[in-house]
Structure 1
């Protein structure tokens, strides 16, 4: 899922840049929002991965 988060960030950067070029403040704001969503998704994925690994390392955990 980290790839999905990165894609959101890239999409957001592109949208923000397009908004800057065209002078469209709404599009710039959307781009910043897409970037924030992408970063949040990436962080969530990292936390899920760490929790999964920690659970596997617990004594008696199924492997």
Structure 2
């Protein structure tokens, strides 16, 4: 379960980074902000899983 949570977090972080970097190429500022939000959400999930791993 932990491995799949980490994978999900890393994929969300990666997808957010790709969206954030690709959005300015097509001139979409709102999409870039959504990509940044996805990236931050992925980082937060990864931190949550890391903290859970330390205490279990």
TM over 0.5: yes
User: Greater share of helix residues, 1 or 2?
Assistant: 2
Bigger radius of gyration, 1 or 2? 1
TM-score scaled to structure 2, two decimals? 0.86
After TM superposition, list the pairs within 5 Å mapping 1:22-41 onto structure 2.
22-41=26-45
Which ranges in structure 2 are unaligned for 5 or more consecutive residues?
A: none
Count matched residues: 52
Which ranges in structure 1 are unaligned for 5 or more consecutive residues?
A: 53-63
TM-score scaled to structure 1, two decimals? 0.77
Note the aligned Cα RMSD (angstroms).
0.7
